[in-house]
Amino acid sequence: MVKESIDVLGLLRKRGVEGDVDFLREALAVLTQAIMDVEVTEQVGAGYGERTPERLTQRNGYRARPWDTRVGTVGLRIPKLREGSYFPSLLEPRRRSERALLAVVQQAYVEGVSTRRVDDLVKALGCDGISKSQVSRICQELDAVVEAFLDRPLDGGPYTYLWLDGLAQKVREGGRIVNVCVVVATAVNAEGRRELLGIDVGTSEDGAFWLQFLRSLAARGLAGVQLVTSDAHRGLKEAVAAVFAGASWQRCRTHFMTNLLSRVPKRAQPPVATMVRTIYQQPSPGEVQAQHRRVVEQLGERFPEAAALLADAAPEILAFTAFPIAHWKQIWSNNPQERLNKEIRRRTDVVGIFPNRAAVRRLIGAVLSEQHDEWASGRRYLSFSSEFEPPDLTEQKEVMLLATAGR
């Protein structure tokens, strides 16, 4: 008997390894149906056709439902009850981002995207297809969830650190394919946990767009911002100064390095990059500023243009030194955002070209909502000691200006 069991298991493994998809799909359907029958028996209080005083209700036929899996679409027969309802425990509601992609599929079809492109989207999701009624229901549910997330009150402050970044996405507008900008705001709340505050979709990253976005965040409760980290987006600095008076701006060191090295011959870029990185390897604010002056002097001998850029940018790239040393690695660049950006691009690359801006907001909003939930239940991103107080940036700015003037 043991031998026969081993032979059966070996056959199952062999069929699975050889990739017999039809066999796996049929086996999954049989197993799933058996699990549902057991669950319904427990909920009803009696088996099929069994007469017992413990019976709570009766079966009332089946309803068909397609189930998209990695081995294809499985047709399920979900039992119905005369009283109450039953939903299989092995079926989980779709993740918000998956429902977003399905909604984009339907909207792309409505907006006139080619059938081949729609078919590619469906296959990328691993599904055989989806009905219009299903997608309509998914769209309505998803829009409400995403808008509730993006419009929620920001009551976890003070938000000492704020990161801002932008992504480009392709959208079909007026019969043309255009690039739009999606801006994302992330912050650390009073508990030291990261929060995704919101997004906005605009035509370009100009000052008016940034000002409108930041004002919307402030209206929802964003307050206590002491440091904003971002790339040198056009109009961003003025918008930050207008909305968050007294906050300092940290220019992302990674993006600044790219700009600096563009002013140096290619063969000299590796040693120059190594030299500039030593500024950020110092153990105290005073040594960071002293090393910055030394690097400016050394670069001035061979690369005066790069040296001038580095000197002029001192207040922007060294703003982090006014804050606790334990926080430096997280606040001196937008690198912590890169993981999030990769996840957004991974999801949006499946779509390629969005039918409109609402579809962009729907999908990216759903992705960020999922990430926000993971951060809320994960470990703290930064630790704020009981003695932590927001620094007085006035003295720090004066020191920076003096250092710049005396180069």
Element (H, E) at 228: strand 227-230
Say how far apart CA 26 and CA 13 lie, in whole Å: 15
- The candidate with the shortest Cα–Cα distance to 110, out of 129, 141, 135, is 135
- Joined tokens for residue 76: 């399920």
161-173 vs 72-81, strand pairing mode: unpaired
Q: What does the longest C-alpha to C-alpha distance in the chain come to?
A: 96
Cβ-contact 375, 194 below 8 angstroms: yes
Whether the per-residue pLDDT at 405 is higher than 50: the answer is no
Query: Token pair 């100009």 is at which residue?
Result: 206
Q: What is the pTM of this model?
A: 0.69
Say how far apart CA 101 and CA 90 lie, in whole Å: 22
- For residue 194, the cross-strand partners are 188
Of the spans 10-14, 33-37, 299-303, 398-402, which averages the highest pLDDT? 299-303
Task: Taking residues 331-356, report their average pLDDT.
Answer: 83
Position 146 scores a pLDDT of 86
**With bands split at pLDDT 50, 70 and 90, how would you rate the model's confidence at 93?**
low
Say how far apart CA 288 and CA 321 lie, in whole Å: 8
Where do the domains of the chain lie? Answer: 2-81, 96-149, 156-405
Say how far apart CA 37 and CA 56 lie, in whole Å: 16
Position 96 scores a pLDDT of 67
Say how far apart CA 326 and CA 324 lie, in whole Å: 5
Percent of the chain beyond pLDDT 70?
Answer: 74
Cβ-contact 128, 68 below 8 angstroms: yes
106 CB neighbour count, 10 Å cutoff: 21
- Look at 256 and 45; give whichever has higher pLDDT: 256
Three-state DSSP class for 93? coil
